[in-house]
Structure 1
């Protein structure tokens, strides 16, 4: 059974490509993915069968051999640390809310700090498996 690595896969388009051991590309339709799998990460090692498609070799019966770990997920803060970050963020948001209730926006420096923190916290929560 041939093997290779996922060159890229776009779940929205419904296809991608595998680079086989000889360095040639093999078309990867979403229908060839294992049951319950909707996407594959770039660089994941797979085994597959090959059939001749209309435009060249096409993968079928794909089996995931080795998924690459998510770098983002591996660098996430621990849940206890994240709880402390969220509690501090709530205090900052509460302070901003008080300022807004006084019909003023927080200072430019405070607003920038708050926006940066909100984006960082959101990125830690929005990690795709």
Structure 2
């Protein structure tokens, strides 16, 4: 069975294209996807049968081999750097906590900065 990667796939239209390891473009219809699969990211490795259709090669009975590599995971900081960042974040959150115990929320600008840092750290950890 040929293997290749998803070139692009548009779930709203129900089709896309694969590129075989030999470089051939193959049409991919949503009906050829495994049951329960509705979305595909470019770069997802697949195994599939090929049949000649009216407009060229068409994928049949697709099987996902490997999901596309995570861009976020590839770009995240080394674990040692993240540990230092989290230790600093704990200190910042401790000071925010002390203010909250006294009945004061942080100023709007400071709260926005803390929230942005929390989101960035969460995204790094979730990648």
Please classify the TM superposition score into its range, dividing by the shorter chain length.
Answer: 0.5 to 0.7
On the 8 A contact 2:5/2:18 being kept in 1, the answer is: yes
User: Which residue of 2 is the match for residue 105 of structure 1?
Assistant: 105
Provide TM-score, normalisation by structure 2.
0.67
The answer for unaligned runs of 5 or more in structure 2 is 53-57
User: Which residue of 2 is the match for residue 49 of structure 1?
Assistant: 49
Q: CA deviation at 1:26?
A: 1.7
User: How many residue pairs were aligned?
Assistant: 115
User: Which residue of 2 is the match for residue 120 of structure 1?
Assistant: 120
Match of 1:25 among 24, 27, 35: 27
What is the SS of the residue equivalent to 1:77? Answer: coil
1:33-89: CA deviation from partner (whole Å, max 9, x where unpaired) = 8xxxxx75323343311469xxxx55215363x764322111111111111111111
Q: RMSD of the alignment, in Å?
A: 3.4
Q: How many angstroms apart in 2 are the aligned matches of 1:58 and 1:25?
A: 6
Cα gap change, 1:16/1:87 in structure 2, threshold over 3 Å: closer, same or farther? farther
What is the SS of the residue equivalent to 1:124? Answer: helix
The answer for unaligned runs of 5 or more in structure 1 is 34-38
